[in-house]
């Protein structure tokens, strides 16, 4: 076994790693390898994803990689434009007004830019939440969030609290998550002639055609009742069997996650924005290779085994799964729509028209951002917004243009 090289798979166009990155990734790889050895030769893909993203000091979100923005690996909507977070603030205002105030809890806040802009906008609208809590697993990101908020809205920093786990007490208010569900570890499965099998992660000492010696590889696990039950349930809801050789994913932690959030919410709303599909689109027979997507310095590809600890790994969200879980625990599916309709409903064009047009450069830049956030083919239709509510029932502005909840 040689663990002194990092596999680039077939992706010869990926940027070269620095020496520091290489040694970091090798340490991550050793950590994964030792767990594979300890567990008898294979770990589940969900466990691999958990290690690669969240292992303290080594995982992608828990070590020092830049991650967000032009110098990082990907750009999220709040990083792209403050108009995105300003629109969300307008949706929050409507809900907070309706339920008589409350808190905002943001899950996985990245650099903290969304928190800062929402607080600023709600301050201007005179609807500040009682507090703005951020649940963030990564210590490094918690530090970055504090810096961003201190820099942009120092006068509102005292409203912000950081949590490492969900609050134990009841809360009234709004739970927000942008591109958080896609970062939850997923299980991957393959439909074989004898039924669905879990695809785990193993180690091989074989040299690949590219000559690399990084030996992480997929392995078909033994028959396992939990995967058979999960896939049978999905197939029963779809009304058809998934074809042989079909590969896809599901998020095993999603149910407990939503249960835990729902348990603490007395009145209010959950709003999640992410890329994903209804179940019928997610498990469409043509989508036969699943939805895994990895990002390294703005290169998107589908190999989760290269650059462990240095690249982001995501999977699309099955929004029907989310809606089903929610409805089973008495959360109302208030809305589901594409990001573009949500932003139009929240007034993005009005916000743009308030920008000083005589400052041509600034105006054109904001107009460009609106295009990227809303155009089909860009973020406009790839990203979806779902809102689950409890204890109040009003039509919400984000879903006023088009509400597609019946598609879930």
Binding site for ligand SAM (CB under 6 A): 61, 68, 76, 78-79, 107-110, 135-138, 141, 178-180, 183
Helices 360-374/82-99 angle, 10° precision: 70
Least distance to ligand SAM from the beta carbon of 72, Å?
10
How far is 228 from 224, CA to CA, in rounded Å?
7
Least distance to ligand SAM from the beta carbon of 56, Å?
12
Least distance to ligand SAM from the beta carbon of 74, Å?
7
Least distance to ligand SAM from the beta carbon of 199, Å?
22
What 3-state DSSP class applies to 142? helix
Helices 319-328/254-264 angle, 10° precision: 40
Least distance to ligand SAM from the beta carbon of 118, Å?
12
Q: Is 8 or 76 the residue whose CB approaches ligand SAM more closely?
A: 76
CA atoms within 13 A on the CB side of 341: 16
Least distance to ligand SAM from the beta carbon of 110, Å?
3
How far is 7 from 215, CA to CA, in rounded Å?
8
**Distance between terminal CA atoms of the chain?**
47
Q: Is 133 or 156 the residue whose CB approaches ligand SAM more closely?
A: 133
Least distance to ligand SAM from the beta carbon of 269, Å?
17
Q: Is 178 or 311 the residue whose CB approaches ligand SAM more closely?
A: 178
What 3-state DSSP class applies to 135? strand
Least distance to ligand SAM from the beta carbon of 89, Å?
15
Residue 61 CA, chain-centre distance (Å), reads 12
Q: The dihedral of CA 352, 358, 359, 360: what is its sign? A: positive
What 3-state DSSP class applies to 296? strand
Closest-by-Cβ residue to ligand SAM is: 108
Q: Is 50 or 224 the residue whose CB approaches ligand SAM more closely?
A: 50
Q: Is 221 or 317 the residue whose CB approaches ligand SAM more closely?
A: 317
Q: Is 63 or 109 the residue whose CB approaches ligand SAM more closely?
A: 109
Token pair 């076994």 is found at 1
Q: Is 180 or 317 the residue whose CB approaches ligand SAM more closely?
A: 180
Q: H-helix or E-strand containing 272?
A: strand 265-277
Least distance to ligand SAM from the beta carbon of 68, Å?
6
Q: Is 114 or 242 the residue whose CB approaches ligand SAM more closely?
A: 114
Task: Return all residues near 135 (Cβ < 8 A) that are at least 6 apart.
Answer: 105, 106, 107, 108, 162, 163, 164, 165, 166
Q: Is 25 or 178 the residue whose CB approaches ligand SAM more closely?
A: 178
Burial-class residue 377 by CB neighbours within 10 Å (0-12, 13-18, 19+). Answer: exposed
Q: Is 74 or 399 the residue whose CB approaches ligand SAM more closely?
A: 74
How far is 63 from 59, CA to CA, in rounded Å?
6
How far is 276 from 192, CA to CA, in rounded Å?
25
Least distance to ligand SAM from the beta carbon of 184, Å?
6
Q: Is 227 or 313 the residue whose CB approaches ligand SAM more closely?
A: 313
Least distance to ligand SAM from the beta carbon of 257, Å?
7
Q: The dihedral of CA 121, 331, 54, 290: what is its sign? A: negative
How far is 166 from 164, CA to CA, in rounded Å?
7
Angle made by CA atoms 301, 243, 277, in degrees to the nearest 5: 50
How far is 254 from 295, CA to CA, in rounded Å?
22
């Amino acid at each position: 076994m040689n663990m002194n090289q990092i596999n680039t798979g077939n992706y010869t166009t990926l940027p070269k790693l620095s020496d520091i990155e290489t040694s970091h990734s090798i340490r991550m790889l050793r950590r994964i390898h030792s767990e594979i050895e300890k567990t008898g030769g294979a770990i589940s893909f969900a466990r691999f994803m958990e290690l690669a993203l969240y292992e303290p000091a080594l995982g992608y979100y828990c070590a020092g990689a830049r991650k967000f923005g032009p110098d990082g690996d990907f750009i999220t909507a709040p990083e792209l434009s403050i108009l995105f977070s300003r629109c969300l603030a307008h949706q929050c205002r409507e809900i907070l007004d309706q339920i008589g105030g409350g808190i905002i809890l943001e899950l996985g806040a990245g650099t903290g830019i969304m928190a800062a802009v929402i607080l600023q906008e709600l301050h201007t609208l005179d609807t500040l939440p009682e507090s703005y809590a951020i649940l963030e697993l990564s210590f490094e990101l918690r530090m970055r969030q504090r810096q961003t908020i201190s820099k942009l809205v120092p006068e509102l920093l005292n409203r912000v609290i950081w949590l490492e786990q969900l609050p134990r007490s009841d809360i009234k208010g709004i739970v927000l998550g942008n591109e958080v569900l896609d970062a939850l570890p997923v299980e991957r499965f393959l439909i074989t002639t004898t039924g669905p099998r879990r695809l785990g992660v193993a180690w091989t000492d074989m040299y690949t055609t590219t000559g690399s010696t990084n030996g992480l590889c997929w392995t078909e696990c033994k028959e396992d009742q939990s995967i058979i039950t999960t896939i049978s349930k999905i197939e029963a809801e779809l009304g058809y069997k998934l074809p042989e050789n079909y590969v896809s994913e599901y998020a095993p932690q999603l149910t407990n996650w939503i249960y835990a959030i729902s348990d603490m919410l007395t009145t209010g709303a959950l709003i999640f924005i992410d890329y994903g599909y209804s179940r019928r689109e997610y498990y469409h027979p043509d989508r036969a290779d699943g939805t895994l997507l990895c990002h390294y310095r703005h290169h998107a590809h589908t190999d989760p085994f290269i650059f462990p600890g240095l690249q982001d790994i995501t999977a699309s969200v099955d929004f029907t799964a989310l809606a089903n879980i929610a409805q089973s625990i008495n959360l109302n599916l208030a809305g589901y729509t594409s990001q573009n309709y949500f932003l139009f409903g929240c007034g993005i064009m009005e916000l743009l028209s308030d920008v000083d047009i005589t400052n041509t450069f600034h105006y054109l830049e904001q107009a460009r951002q609106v295009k990227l956030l809303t155009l089909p083919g860009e973020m406009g239709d790839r990203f979806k917004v779902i809102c689950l509510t409890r204890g109040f029932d009003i039509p919400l502005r984000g879903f006023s243009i088009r509400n597609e909840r019946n598609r879930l």
